[in-house]
Structure 1
Amino acid sequence: MLKAQDIMTREVITVNENATVRELAALLLSRSISGAPVVDDAGKVIGVVTESDLIFQNKKVHLPAAFAILDAFVFLERPEKMEQELKKMAGSRVGDICSRKLVAVTPETELEELATLMAEKKIHTLPVMAAGSLVGVIGKSDIIRTIAQGL
């Protein structure tokens, strides 16, 4: 069974959390990648940013459903969710729009588990970590390439 280390991209393109959204868009476009790990000033991986995060910034604002009882409003969704969405939509730096719920794998993670993670959690970019360091990255294109090559 193939593992992450067999299909990962070893020359990882990262983006600093302080980079602008415009710089991120230019990087993704010029390098023909759909996402990248986000690092802090010390080089530590703190999240992942993808094309979807850029597209999210241009969507319509979703107002949470609510109803009024007497003089109070009862929200059917968490108001915090709307607040988070607005912050992400208004973000000007990569750190504002990236996903900080880091889902990473190890070099030993099997292909089947990689595909399952990506499909079930709707993840496009998986950092590959070993001993706390970034050693590679796996994108959907890496898995598709593996399928096309019949490995």
Structure 2
Amino acid sequence: MPTQVLRVKDLMTPEPVTVTPLDSVETVLNRLEERHISGLPVVNDEGKLVGIISEADLLFKERPIRLPLYLLLLGGIIYLEPLDRFIQELKKSLGVLVQDVMTPNPFTITPDAPISQAADLMLEKRINRLPVVDEQGKLVGIITRDDLLRALQSELVES
């Protein structure tokens, strides 16, 4: 008898706790603490996913700003690394709103994808959570490494 392939929709948390781009960082901290979670999807007014914010994003506020390496040559500055990365880090360090600190355009997955695809994506991209979106980009759930590990544990117990 063939084994049933588990899908993301079988393990995801539907209707996850979210924040909006205009929420404060303080709101994020409160929701993370209240729910004992480490990240939140960021949605716009239509419920479409626009970003994700995690504890790692919030730690930028506590990290010292590192100036990009540069050379002075003939009275001009030549940057040895991308200046836009420095600008993004500066925004995160100074940010007080979610939109300043969040990671935009996060990796996502669909509800019908097999959980093996979710696991591969999390491992390959070194992320802990995947927002689950429908065809229109609307957030319908979230799946985390913990969800995958619980499924694996229950599968091992059953066998």
How high is the TM-score relative to the length of structure 2? 0.87
Partners of 2:90 and 2:67 in 1: CA distance: 10
The answer for unaligned runs of 5 or more in structure 2 is none
Partners of 1:56 and 1:141 in 2: CA distance: 24
Please, what is the CA RMSD of the aligned residues? 1.5
Does 1:100 find its partner at 2:104? yes
Q: After superposition, give the CA deviation of every residue in 1:107-148 in whole Å (9 maximum; x if it has no partner).
A: 111222111211222222211112323221011211122222
Partners of 1:56 and 1:2 in 2: CA distance: 36
Structure 2 equivalent of residue 148 of structure 1 = 153
SS in 2 for 1:74: strand
Paired residue type of 1:71: G
Higher alpha-carbon Rg: 2
User: What's the % identity of the aligned pairs?
Assistant: 36
SS in 2 for 1:43: coil
After the TM superposition, which segments of 4 or more aligned residues of structure 1 sit over 6 Å from their partners?
A: none
Count of residues in Structure 1 that have an aligned counterpart in Structure 2: 151
2:54 pairs, out of 39, 47, 50, with: 50
Q: After superposition, give the CA deviation of every residue in 1:53-86 in whole Å (9 maximum; x if it has no partner).
A: 1112211212111122221221110112101110
Structure 2 equivalent of residue 31 of structure 1 = 35
Partners of 2:60 and 2:40 in 1: CA distance: 16
Structure 2 equivalent of residue 110 of structure 1 = 114
How high is the TM-score relative to the length of structure 1? 0.91
Answer with 26-35 or 99-108: which moved more.
99-108
